[in-house]
Amino acid sequence: MKSKTIKSINLAGLIGYIISIVLIIASISGMVAVAIGTAGAVAVSGENINAAITTNIDVTSTGNFLEKLRHFGSFDGMEELSSLIEKEGGTVKVDDSELSEVSVSKLENGLSFNAKTNSISFSIKRIIVCLAVSFIFLGAVTVMLYMLKGLMKSIKNCDTPFSDEIIKKMTYFANSTIPVIVLNMICGGLWVSIGKSGFDMTINLSSVFMVMVIYILVTIFKYGAQLQHESDETL
């Protein structure tokens, strides 16, 4: 008869098994959606998309707002912006990597800034590349979830968590997380850089740390299995 602790482990495995199945379905659905999006993008692959964002900010301040702003930073065109406040209307061209022009007007208790970003051109071909990498990423996630499902299935049926089968499934799962982490960083970098000429990719240290923790747990379980084998041989 199984102990209360083992029954709790089996229950946790059952819950994890059900959740992993739901996540697999969601991941496959995501792959289908990305595939459809990729097919649509391929159909218009010769086109480009141009976009510019306009943002309005209302600022309430007492005294000389721009004078206070100079204590924190400045930009090309600030002097012209100061004169605009007095003239009520007009636009200042801004030499900035993100902004193209700024206009300002007086409010009853402050100022209203209207900023327009530089026009960004999105190449459909780059979007196709991003979608393709996203599809591969979701495929890697699906494989990882299948490995997780196998691990949870072994846990829900186990008599001991230190069995060779669980350790083997845990190792498979740990190995499957590596391509997911790498592809996640590449995919994120591609989407962030979609309107730029270069490629920006940041290393997700939290994800790397998570993989390290999983491998540490695998090592601990292997050692636990070794101790259990030695105990069984002694008995």
User: pLDDT by residue (tens digit) across 31-74?
Assistant: 999 999 988 888 776 666 665 555 555 555 555 555 555 544 44
Helix, coil or strand: residue 91: coil
pLDDT digits (tens, 9 = 90+) for 149-158: 999 999 999 8
Sequence-distant (≥ 6) Cβ neighbours of residue 98 within 8 angstroms:
117, 118
Q: How confident is residue 180, by pLDDT bands cut at 50, 70 and 90?
A: very high
Please report the beta strands in the chain, taking only residues with DSSP state E, as ranges in sequence order: 48-51, 54-60, 92-93, 99-106, 110-117, 120-123
Q: Is the pLDDT of residue 22 over 90?
A: yes
Q: What's the confidence (pLDDT) of residue 107?
A: 61
Q: How confident is residue 1, by pLDDT bands cut at 50, 70 and 90?
A: low
Domain boundaries, the chain: 4-45+123-234, 53-118
Mean pLDDT of the chain: 77
* Distance set, CA 91 to CA 53, 98, 134, 143 (Å): 16, 16, 41, 54
Q: How confident is residue 226, by pLDDT bands cut at 50, 70 and 90?
A: confident
